[in-house]
Structure 1
Amino acid sequence: MKSPGEFMEILAAYDLTRSYRDAAKICGVSHNTVRSYVKARDAGAQAPIARKRGRITDPFLPQMQSLVEQSRGKIRGDVVHEKLVALGYAGSIRTTRYVLSGLKSKYRAQNARVHRPWSVEAGRWLQWDYGDGPVVDGVKTVLFVAWLAYSRFRIVIALRDKTMPSVFAALDRSFRLIGGVPTYVLTDNEKTVTIEHIAGVPVRNPQIVAFARHYSTAVHTCMPADPASKGGVENAVKIAKADLVPKETNLRPEYGSFAELEAACEAFMEDVNSSVHRATLEIPKDMLRHLEQPKLHPVPAVPVTASFGQARQVPPNTPMVTFEHSRYSVPHTLMGQRVWVRGTDTQVIIVHVGQTGPVEVARHKITRPGVPAVIDAHFPPASAGALERVTRPTNKAEEEFLALGAGAALWLKEAAAAGTNKIRHKMERAVTLAKVVGNDVVDQGLGAAAVHHRFTHEDLVSIITNTATGEPSSIINNTRHAVTDQSQWLSQGTSGWANFGTNNPTTTPGNESAPTDITDLEGAAE
C-alpha cells in the first residue's frame, strides 16, 4: 500500500504525461497501479487498498504456535504436518514447513539466551571439566582439563578414571602447577561433587566438602545440563581433544603407553600457555606469573591423602608393597618412600605424593597371595647374574688371552660350559700362537672353534691352517653347522693373511724367509 505522498506523486506524474506507462516509469511502479489510482480519483472514490491474501494454514496457526512453544522450538515439520492433517488440513507439507520455519525463528528470537560478558577478578575462579581421552593399551582414558578464568591458563592431565581419588589428585596437581589455590572452583554436577538436587538446590558430596575445607576454597556447580555457564573450560576441552586424541584431522599416531599420553599433555600445556591468547592479547603463563599468582591462596604443604587408600612403606631393597596379602610392584625409584594403595573390584591403584602432588604410579590387576604382580618397567635393567657370567681376568695369563678379542671370550665360555680339560694350558698355547700369526687370526679361529664346539689345540691349528689356504676344513665339515662365510664369523676378517700357507707366500721386506706352514710357525715359536 502506498503512502499519501506516493499517491499524490503518482497522480501528478499522470497529469504531466497523460500516460499510464510513462507515469509508472517516473514513479517506479506498475502501470496498473497508476490506472487504478486515476480511475478511483475520477470516480470520486478513495485510493484502492491492497488486499491481504490469507494462507491455507491460517485456521491452524494457533495449533502450530502451541506445538512450537511446547517443544521449545525443536519440533520437526513432518510431525506438525501429520498433526494438522488429522485436524483436517488439506495443504502440502511444503507450506507447513515454510510457515513452521517462520514460527520457530520468531520463537528463538523471543527466547534467545543473552550472554553477558564475564568480568572476573584475578585469582577468583578456576573451572574444571572432563573429556574423552584416547585409548591406551586397550583402555579408554580421561582428560582432566582446568582453566583459569582471568589469565586463560589451561591445564590438561591424563587420568585413567574419574573416581574421587583421581579427581583429588588432579586438582591438587593443578593447584601446584599454577602456584596457588583460587577462591572458587566451578564444575559440572558429577556424583563426586553433587549427590542430588532437592528443590533445585545441589547437595554436596561430603568428601568434596572436606577437600574444599582442606584447600580453603569453595566448590560451585553450574546448572544441570547447562554447559554454557562454564563455556571457558568447555572450549578448552574441545581444543585439547582435537589436539591430543588421535584422529585423521591431526594425524597423531596411537599412544604406545600411558607415559606417552602424559608427555603429550605436558607438551600441549607448554604450547598453548606460551602463545598469545586471542581474547587478552597476552601470554597466559606471563599473566599467571605477574598478575594472578599474587592473588592466589597458598597451597597446603600436605595434600589430601585420606581417599588415596592405605599407606605403605616401600622396602629399601625391593620395589614391592603388600596389599591384602598380595604383593604389587612400584617403580624402583620409590624404594624407601611412602605410597598409598587402594583397591577396586578388579584393580589395585598405587599413588605417590611428591613435590608436584599426588601421582598415580602403578595400576595392577588383582592377584592372589603368593603370585606377585610385577611390571618389568618398574625394575632397572637386570645385571649379570649366575646364568650370565661376565669375563673378568684375574691374572696376567687370563688378561693376555681375553685381549685377543671377542672370539677368545666366546671360546672360554663355551669350553668351560663343555667341561673341557686343561683350559689354561690351551689358553697359553693360543696366546703363543697369536704372537706368531697375529691376534686377529687366532681370535677368528677361536670364535669358529667355539661355535662348532672344537676345543683341542689341534682343532684351532686346523681351522687357522685351512682358513689360510682357502681349503675347507675337515673339522668344520664334519659338523652340522659349517661356517665358511667370513661375514658370519665373530671377529673381523684377516685379508692380510689370505695367502698364508700357500706355495707362493707374500713376503715382506726384511722377512724373506718367513715360515709357510702352521707347524713351522709353532716350531719357530717354541
Structure 2
Amino acid sequence: MEKWHVYMDIYQLKQQGFKIRRIARKLGISRTTVYKYLEKSPEEMGEWMASTQTRRKKLDPYEMLIQTWLSEHPDLSASQIHDWLLERYTDLKVGESTVRLFVNELREKYNIPKTEAMRDYQGLQDPPMGQQAQVDFGHTVQKTPDGKEVKLTFITFVLSHSRYKFVKWLDRPLTTKDVIDCHEQAFHAFGGIPYEIVYDQDALIVVSENAGDLILTEAFQAYREERKLTMYVCRKADPESKGKVENVVKFVKGNFAKNRIFGTLDRWKEQSDAWLERTGNGKVHNTTKKRPVEVFALEKQHLRPVTTKLTLSRVDSSITRTVRKDNTILYQSNRYSVPLGTYRQNKIVYIQTDDHSLVIREHQEGPVIANHSISHGKGKLIQDSQHTRDRTKGIAAYMATIAEKFEDKEKAMTFLEALHKKYPRYIRDQLQLMSKALKEIEPTIGDEALHMCMQQGIESATEFGDVVQYIKRQRQVDHAALDHTKEPVKPLNGRETSVDDTKPQTRDVSDYLALLEGASV
C-alpha cells in the first residue's frame, strides 16, 4: 500500500499547485518517479500494483543464498551483497538499488535486523593538573559580507584537566612552521608546558608509524628535542583516545564559527579570543561542572616552566605541491601554471604565500620559477603567458632557426620538413626536442647525428637526440683511448706484458754458412 499512498500524495500536491521539483523534494523521491505516477490513472495504478505483487523478482533465484549471508553476517550491507553476487555470478546484471530493496524485504521477511558493532566506552579519571594537553586541527568554510566563501584553518589546544582552551586561526593551509609557532603561542598563553601532549597522526607532525615507532617530520623532531616534549600520538581512526580535543573542534565549529560572517583575519581572531574568554573558557563545562578559567588558575602552577625563548629560523616554512601533467599546481581549488617542461613524474615544487601572491620554486632555496597573484575564485586556471608555448613564432621560422645550427642548412631543412610531414600535429613538440638535443653540444656532433639519421632513414626528434648522445659517448671513449697518460690496462690472466716488446737475438748469415760447410747433401 506504500506505493498507493505515494501515488495519492503526488496527486494531492499536484492539485494544490506544487511543481514537479517541489513534489519530489517534499516526498523524498525522484522527479522521474513523480512523472511516472502522474502518467497513470487510478485504474492503471491499481493494475500495475497488482502485477508487481505477482511478478517474479530478478533476485528470487538467489533468495536463499542472500538469506544465508544475512543470517551469518547480520551487519552485511546491501552494497557488499551486490558485490558478492557480481563476484560469484559474473553474468548477472542487476543494479545496486534493486539489491538494496530486495535485501530490505528479506530482512523483514526473515526478521534479520541489521546490527552494527558497538564500542564500549569507559569513563576515565582526568589526568593530574599540568600533566596533559591535547592538540588537533580543523577547518571551516565561512561566508564573507559579499557572499563569497573563504576556507579557514585552525589548531586547538586543550589542557585535559581544566579544559582550558587555546585556538589559533589562519586563512591558508598550515605548514610545519605554523604548527611549531602555534605551540609556542599556546605555551605562552598557558604560562608553561604540559608534561605530555596528545596528537593525531597529522602529516605536518608524523611521517609514518613503523610498528609502533613514530617517524616524525624533520622540523618537528628538532622542535620536540629542543623543547623536550613527551608525545603520545593516537592510533589512526581512533579519535576517542583524544576525545577532549575532538569535542573542542566541534565546539569551535558549532558554537563559534557556525553562521558567523568573516570580515578580516585580524577581526576574526579578535572575535575568537573574545568567544574563548566569554564561552570557551568562561562557561561552566558540561562534564566537570566547573569553569575552565577558574580551574586553570590552579593548573597553570603545575605546568613545566618555559625557560628559554625558541628561535624558529631552522624550520622550513615552505609548502610543497606536486606538479601536474599540464604543468600546473593546485592551490586552494585553483590551478597555477609553472614553466612548460617542469613536469616530471612525482615532481615536487615549493610554494610560499602571503595575502596576495603565490611564489613557486623548484628547490627550497632556489630561484623563483613562477609568481602569481592569488585568485579568490574556484576552479580557475591562473596562467603566466611566459609559461606557454611561443605560438607567435611560425613553424617555418622555428625550423629555420634550428637549421641555422647545422653546417649543411639545406640538409637540415630537408630533415625538419620530413618531421613536419610525419608529425603535423606535434611538429612544435618535435622542434622543441631538436632544440633541446642541440643545446650545449659541439656543432660537429649535430652535423654527424644529422648525417647518420638521414643515412639510416630516421625521422624522429627523439631518436635524433638518442643519436646525439651515442656520438657523445663514442667521442668520450675515443678520447680516452688517445690519452696515453693513463696507466696501461693489465690483462686479466696476470701475464707480464713487457715480454711482448722483447725482440729475439739475431745472428749474421755467415755464422750459419760456417756451420753448414762439409755437410753432406
TM-score by length of 2: 0.43
Larger radius of gyration: 1
